[in-house]
Amino acid sequence: MKNIYAWSLVVLLFSSPQANSQSSEPIETRPALNEDLRAQSPEAVLLSIDQRVDALGPLRYGAIRTTERAGARTVERWSFVQGRKGSFRVDYSGDTARQIAYNGRILTDYVPALRAARQYDMPELSEQGRQEILTAIGKHVFVPGVRVGVAAAQMSWQWSESAQGVPDAESLTAIGRDAQGGVLTVTLDAKKHHVLRTDLRVNERFLVSVEGQDHVEVQPGVWFPTRVELITTDASGEVRVNFSLTRWTANVNTDDSMFSLSLDKSVSIEKYP
């Protein structure tokens, strides 16, 4: 059970197109969503939304993430560019100046202030090692609330009873349940077909909620939030994370060279494995 929920949480909290973009199938060939989503199964609708996000080409956005935990407030700023075949680049600004670039094989993590970098030859690492590195990065830069990760949730889905017989409602809710007491509630925009809110509970215990607002259409039929609020808990109590997002742009022009950092010879580099 622990592994199932660990994976589900990673998908829910940190999944985004750059982490999951596996398909080169054009969006136009994806199954079209019916105008009345209630005519389809919730799982089919959620999968179709995820597929449309996953099929995006190169993506760019800027973000400000504010975390409030135990009376402390932390602010991080970064820009993100996703290339093709899993490549990406993150440029932190301010006190957290840092550059991370992954060209599909070598992942470089560079801290200019220390004149130090780590490089990982990803195919040479174990699957667990690769996942640990990507998950650690994802916790800091991937934006929640963009896709559901329904394929990994291992749940049975149904529409909320309140959605029945209300075809003109602006939103509707799908509820997924598994055999271990997990309940994932997903509220959708019934007209624009994007995720508004997710809520994950286990045996009625709250784990995390994610709500996106002020969505923009980055490509026909694909809507991303410009503001996201995430609420969860840890040993210190409630943790509240707010994302302010700018410049959501899909199918941007990228040069493969930007995903391989060119480091000066004076930089100390640790290589793994």
Residue 231 structural domain: 2-18+41-272
pTM for the structure as a whole? 0.83
According to the model, what pLDDT value does residue 33 have? 54
9 by Cβ neighbours in 10 Å (0-12 / 13-18 / 19+) ranks as middle
Give the Cα separation of 70 and 177 in Å (integer).
32
What is the rounded average pLDDT for all residues in the chain?
Answer: 84
Give the Cα separation of 15 and 148 in Å (integer).
8
For residue 167, the domain's CATH number is 2.50.20.10
Give the Cα separation of 236 and 233 in Å (integer).
7
Whether 25 is in a domain gets the answer no
Whether 70 is in a domain gets the answer yes
Buried b (16+ CB within 10 A) or exposed e, 63-77: bebeeebeeeeeebb
Q: How does pLDDT run across 203-235, given as a tens digit for each residue?
A: 999 999 999 999 999 988 889 999 999 999 988
| DSSP bridge pairs for 184 | 176, 200
Whether 27 is in a domain gets the answer no
169 alpha-carbon distance from chain centroid: 27
Region for 270 from its dihedrals, namely left if φ exceeds 0, alpha if ψ lies in -120 to 50, beta otherwise: beta
Give the position of tokens 């195919």.
Answer: 123
The number of domains in the chain is 1
Mean pLDDT of 7-27: 44
Higher pLDDT, 169 or 192: 192
Region for 71 from its dihedrals, namely left if φ exceeds 0, alpha if ψ lies in -120 to 50, beta otherwise: left
Give the Cα separation of 138 and 12 in Å (integer).
12
Instruction: Say how many C-beta atoms besides its own lie within 10 A of residue 177's C-beta.
Output: 15
Q: pLDDT-based confidence at 150, cuts 50/70/90?
A: confident
Whether 209 is in a domain gets the answer yes
Q: How does pLDDT run across 19-75, given as a tens digit for each residue?
A: 443 433 444 434 455 567 778 899 999 999 888 888 888 899 999 999 999 999 999
Q: Token pair for residue 235?
A: 């040993």
Whether 111 is in a domain gets the answer yes
Instruction: Say how many C-beta atoms besides its own lie within 10 A of residue 151's C-beta.
Output: 14
Backbone angles phi, psi at 11, to 5 degrees: -60, -50
Among the listed residues 132, 24, 18, 145, the one whose alpha carbon sits nearest the alpha carbon of residue 80: 18
Whether 137 is in a domain gets the answer yes
Q: Token pair for residue 151?
A: 């394929």
Instruction: List Cα–Cα distances, 11 to 23, 138, 163, in angstroms.
Output: 17, 10, 26
Q: How does pLDDT run across 165-183, given as a tens digit for each residue?
A: 555 578 899 999 988 899 9
Q: pLDDT-based confidence at 185, cuts 50/70/90?
A: very high
Q: Is the dihedral of CA 159, 163, 166, 170 positive or negative?
A: negative
Whether 35 is in a domain gets the answer no
Whether 24 is in a domain gets the answer no
Backbone angles phi, psi at 263, to 5 degrees: -105, 140
Give the Cα separation of 172 and 188 in Å (integer).
5
Among the listed residues 143, 148, 150, 120, the one whose alpha carbon sits nearest the alpha carbon of residue 132: 120
According to the model, what pLDDT value does residue 21 have? 39
